[in-house]
Amino acid sequence: MQRVPSVLLARSFHTTSAASSFQYADLIVEPSTKKQRLPSDPTKLGFGRYFSNHIIDIDWDMKEGWFAPKIKQFENFSLHPAAKVLHYAQEVFEGLKAYHGVDGKIRIFRPELNMERMRRSARRSALPDFDTREALLLIDELVRMDADLVPKTDQASLYIRPMMFATEPHIGIGESLQAKWACFSAITGSYFNYERGIKLLADPEMVRSWKGGVGQYKMGCNYAPTIAVGKMAALHECGQVMWLSGEDRLVTEAGAMNLFVLWTNEENDLELITPPTDSGLLLPGVTRLSVLELAKEWNVMKVSERNFTMPTLARAIREKRVHEFFVSGTAAIVGPVSEILYMDKEHDILEKLHIPTLTSKYQFHKRMHTALTDIHYGKVEKSEWQRIVEV
Amino acid sequence: MQRVPSVLLARSFHTTSAASSFQYADLIVEPSTKKQRLPSDPTKLGFGRYFSNHIIDIDWDMKEGWFAPKIKQFENFSLHPAAKVLHYAQEVFEGLKAYHGVDGKIRIFRPELNMERMRRSARRSALPDFDTREALLLIDELVRMDADLVPKTDQASLYIRPMMFATEPHIGIGESLQAKWACFSAITGSYFNYERGIKLLADPEMVRSWKGGVGQYKMGCNYAPTIAVGKMAALHECGQVMWLSGEDRLVTEAGAMNLFVLWTNEENDLELITPPTDSGLLLPGVTRLSVLELAKEWNVMKVSERNFTMPTLARAIREKRVHEFFVSGTAAIVGPVSEILYMDKEHDILEKLHIPTLTSKYQFHKRMHTALTDIHYGKVEKSEWQRIVEV
């Protein structure tokens, strides 16, 4: 045995191309000649089905680095059947939104946080790095070109989807010598019916993330395993899955969202609690961070990032100490949860845990939803969270 | 609380389309007009870089079911930027090989096992089911059409890559209403230099699979997180990563391969041991199964599928009880391991564990490699493992 030189223990997931980035200054614009068709009724928009007219498309190559960014007509990619993304899921993405404000200005919500996270996801996926500022300038330009498609209502928005994936045509498992960075947008209505609470299925047998895994990154690989589980949840009339991790059943996420509990804790304090991100088990959400920051700013209750287990939560619900439970995410903003179906196969128990979120006297989730959407739509100014796209 | 009706506890990942399959009888053939270029020196082939002339391409739709299969010119896919596979990694694949035998016949090694596994992967990924027999008939046809590209040497083979992925253009996370099944092939040389032993990095901080996850399925999502870890292993001059799982550091896989240890166990028996698949932590490999079946048939040592931990293995290596360690997989067949770099950051220890596989008096891994390749290339008849493609 020998001691490890500390350099050997360093965890570095840097790609070889870290020094360079694509540049907004190199942008080539090829305006679209087609217009997407949209439903005339905005309530028929749904989520992520209607796309705008343009796409950012940037190729990367290990030798050449980043090629000039293009904004061009939204159309299909031409992908080699052996492109690594189609086999080994070497892919990352982001989700953020642009809103048409009450003052007519278009605002993007905290996009620099999404770009920083995308870069972390890329590093963990052995995909190339890029510059946050350059990416934001390109996204501004994309939104500007499709500005007439940003819905002029506070019931809808333009959902922006940056993505990067490995394109090298080689089925050996390993670093990709080629990649593509792209970004398109979708005209998007409500994600949930907020009048009804969401029902969650909590089943400790189905585990989304684990210590030593990649649960904290927005990598495509975190989502594929959840789809069949989501279908199973639907059989139980649950809209989303609540993810538990480890032997002690840590509460981590719900669906693809973060989660918050407003409860009277065991010390009899009113407390807003959410699991911490340092476990590596959950995604550090932009809405999650914003909820935490606003709640701390308001200073009306204790606000904690602290781990809690499903048995602890279940006991608190049974003892009627849980007032509200809500999920947070870019698509949903804030969504109230009314029931957790706790399925403990090990003990052959199925328990319906009702949470009075919708009738809570605090209505904290509603206040938070309003506060966030007020910032989104420019009803309230919070300039450091509002990136204005000059049209 | 209430007892769970047993029907609710049933774990079913069936898709709605389970009843139907694509049909070989519906096949439409559009012969390629192009020929792929190959290096004249077969040692330059490498793994998975040179593709043959045709591809099987079959579309599926939730309403219409499977469309008629096509075999057509190998060319790029046209994929919508919102195709679910590019965001949520809804993708499965397989790897199998066709060999040009010493008698001039082309044999595919146990392909029905790959198709059965692909169907299991598909169910877990909420992708449609299909019929094993129909898939095999299509693969036969693909190989037949590119029969002149199956290398006429026992140093190379035609690697066959079936794949299925979600194509619906919808960025909501959930079941895909459209999918594509495809299969192409690559003219392929040796995966390893077998003269030198492989070095493995064993780092308990990097976890490939976990209880409640999908480690036993050939889903793309299992591979993306390994790529950056593989790069890190290369920094330590290790060719592959040995994957440990859980607090007790169960030994599971190496790289994307199964693994075997030939040792004198604590009861002083000569034993061939490999971790069992019922943990759900590792892929049930076709080569793995074949190694187990041959070893049992030969009956010269104890053969066990049993869990063992890294500390147990490390102790056995230090006590010089480990004679051979080898990996198994379709690409590598059987590959000797000569060293494990055990990196225990928790205790700031880095230990080089040398394994005398290459100089072992048993030379079991060589015997196994020869036995398998003799079957592959038709030097030995084992008809139930050899699917002959009539040309």
Per-residue pLDDT reduced to its tens digit, A340-351: 999 988 878 789
Residue of A nearest to B49 (CA): A170
Q: Which of A17, A72, A173, A247 to mutate to test the interface with B (most CBs of B within 10 A)?
A: A173
What was the pLDDT predicted at B39?
Answer: 82
What was the pLDDT predicted at A384?
Answer: 98
Distance (Å) from the C-alpha of residue B301 to the closest C-alpha of chain A?
32
Fold of A16-190: D-amino Acid Aminotransferase; Chain A, domain 1 (3.30.470)
What was the pLDDT predicted at A43?
Answer: 78
What was the pLDDT predicted at A177?
Answer: 97
Judged by DSSP in three states, B113 sits in: helix
Residue of A nearest to B76 (CA): A80
Q: What is the mean pLDDT of chain B?
A: 93
Distance (Å) from the C-alpha of residue A387 to the closest C-alpha of chain B?
24
Tell if the CB–CB gap between B87 and A230 is shorter than 8 Å.
no
Residue of A nearest to B225 (CA): A125
Mean pLDDT computed over A248-262: 96
Please report where in the chains the tokens 């139980």 appear, as a residue: A236
Q: Which of B165, B211, B227, B340 to mutate to test the interface with A (most CBs of A within 10 A)?
A: B227
Residue of A nearest to B229 (CA): A13
Q: Which of B15, B32, B91, B354 to mutate to test the interface with A (most CBs of A within 10 A)?
A: B91
What was the pLDDT predicted at A166?
Answer: 98
Q: Which two tokens stand for residue B10?
A: 């049933």
Residue of B nearest to A167 (CA): B86
Q: Which two tokens stand for residue A193?
A: 């019916």
Listed in order, the ranges of chain A carrying CATH 3.30.470.10 are 16-190
Tell if the CB–CB gap between B78 and A77 is shorter than 8 Å.
yes
The CB density around residue A32, as the number of other CB atoms within 10 Å, is: 17
Listed in order, the ranges of chain A carrying CATH 3.20.10.10 are 198-376
What was the pLDDT predicted at A211?
Answer: 93
CA distance A306 to A12: 27
What was the pLDDT predicted at A18?
Answer: 43
Nearest-by-Cβ selection for A4 from B79, B212, B349: B349
The CB density around residue A7, as the number of other CB atoms within 10 Å, is: 8
Q: Which of B261, B257, B216, B262 is nearest to B240 (CA)?
A: B257
Nearest-by-Cβ selection for B210 from A124, A175, A213: A213
Residues on chain B touching A161 (C-beta within 8 angstroms): 82, 87, 171
Tell if the CB–CB gap between B213 and A225 is shorter than 8 Å.
yes
Size of interface A-B (CB pairs under 8 A): 267
Nearest-by-Cβ selection for B89 from A1, A12, A220: A220
Residues on chain A touching B81 (C-beta within 8 angstroms): 51, 55, 74, 76-77, 163, 182, 184
pLDDT tens-digit map of B169-218: 999 999 999 999 999 999 998 777 777 899 999 999 999 999 999 999 99
Nearest-by-Cβ selection for A126 from B12, B169, B228: B228
Tell if the CB–CB gap between A220 and B51 is shorter than 8 Å.
no
Find the range with the poorest average confidence among A18-32, A134-148, B212-226. Answer: A18-32
Distance (Å) from the C-alpha of residue B95 to the closest C-alpha of chain A?
10
Nearest-by-Cβ selection for A124 from B8, B211, B228: B228
Tell if the CB–CB gap between B81 and A182 is shorter than 8 Å.
yes
Residue of B nearest to A206 (CA): B212
Mean pLDDT computed over B28-49: 86
Residues on chain A touching B7 (C-beta within 8 angstroms): none
Given a cut of 60, is residue A224 above it in pLDDT?
Answer: yes
Using only the alpha carbons of chain A, give its radius of gyration: 22
Residue of B nearest to A75 (CA): B80
Residues on chain B touching A48 (C-beta within 8 angstroms): 82, 170-172
Is-contact A327 A257, C-beta < 8 A? Answer: yes
What was the pLDDT predicted at A191?
Answer: 72
Q: Which of B72, B159, B190, B221 to mutate to test the interface with A (most CBs of A within 10 A)?
A: B221
Q: Which of A57, A91, A120, A191 to mutate to test the interface with B (most CBs of B within 10 A)?
A: A91
Residue of B nearest to A170 (CA): B49
Judged by DSSP in three states, B262 sits in: strand
Q: What is the mean pLDDT of chain A?
A: 93
pLDDT tens-digit map of B117-128: 999 999 999 999
Tell if the CB–CB gap between A228 and B13 is shorter than 8 Å.
yes
What was the pLDDT predicted at B4?
Answer: 41
Tell if the CB–CB gap between A125 and B214 is shorter than 8 Å.
no
Residue of B nearest to A54 (CA): B81
Tell if the CB–CB gap between B171 and A161 is shorter than 8 Å.
yes
Distance (Å) from the C-alpha of residue A57 to the closest C-alpha of chain B?
10
Tell if the CB–CB gap between B125 and A211 is shorter than 8 Å.
no
Distance (Å) from the C-alpha of residue B235 to the closest C-alpha of chain A?
9
Nearest-by-Cβ selection for B345 from A1, A9, A174: A9
The CB density around residue A353, as the number of other CB atoms within 10 Å, is: 22
Nearest-by-Cβ selection for B207 from A211, A225, A349: A211
Q: Which of B171, B243, B244, B249 to mutate to test the interface with A (most CBs of A within 10 A)?
A: B171
- Given the DSSP bridges, would you call strands B302-305 and B258-264 parallel, antiparallel or unpaired? unpaired
Q: Is B352 exposed, middle or buried (0-12, 13-18, 19+ CB in 10 A)?
A: exposed
Distance (Å) from the C-alpha of residue B27 to the closest C-alpha of chain A?
20
Judged by DSSP in three states, B265 sits in: coil
Q: Which of B131, B129, B132, B121 is nearest to B92 (CA)?
A: B121
Is-contact B46 B65, C-beta < 8 A? Answer: no
Given a cut of 50, is residue B263 above it in pLDDT?
Answer: yes
Distance (Å) from the C-alpha of residue A252 to the closest C-alpha of chain B?
15
Is-contact A69 A25, C-beta < 8 A? Answer: no
Calculate helix-pair angle for A111-124, A286-298, nearest 10 degrees.
130
pLDDT tens-digit map of B305-344: 999 999 999 999 999 999 999 999 999 899 999 999 999 8
Residue B135 parent element (H or E): helix B132-145
Residues on chain B touching A2 (C-beta within 8 angstroms): 349-352
Distance (Å) from the C-alpha of residue A244 to the closest C-alpha of chain B?
10
Q: Mark residue A373 as left, alpha or beta (left: phi above 0; alpha: psi -120 to 50; beta: remaining).
A: alpha
Q: Which residues pair with B343 in a beta bridge?
A: B350
Q: Which two tokens stand for residue B268?
A: 């002083």
Tell if the CB–CB gap between B76 and A76 is shorter than 8 Å.
no
pLDDT tens-digit map of A67-112: 999 999 999 999 999 999 999 999 999 999 999 999 999 999 999 9
CA distance A345 to A310: 14
Fold of A198-376: D-amino Acid Aminotransferase; Chain A, domain 2 (3.20.10)
Is the Cα dihedral A76, A78, A84, A90 positive or negative? negative
Find the range with the poorest average confidence among A38-42, A121-125, B14-18, B369-373. Answer: B14-18
What was the pLDDT predicted at B186?
Answer: 96
Given a cut of 60, is residue B2 above it in pLDDT?
Answer: no
Residue A382 parent element (H or E): none
Tell if the CB–CB gap between B4 and A348 is shorter than 8 Å.
yes
What was the pLDDT predicted at B19?
Answer: 54
What was the pLDDT predicted at B45?
Answer: 84
Distance (Å) from the C-alpha of residue B208 to the closest C-alpha of chain A?
7
Given a cut of 70, is residue A320 above it in pLDDT?
Answer: yes
Cα distances (Å, whole numbers) of residue B100 to A277, B44, B97, B147, B181 = 53, 19, 10, 9, 26
Residue of A nearest to B255 (CA): A173
Is-contact A181 A58, C-beta < 8 A? Answer: yes
Please report where in the chains the tokens 């032997």 appear, as a residue: A247
Is-contact A277 A215, C-beta < 8 A? Answer: no
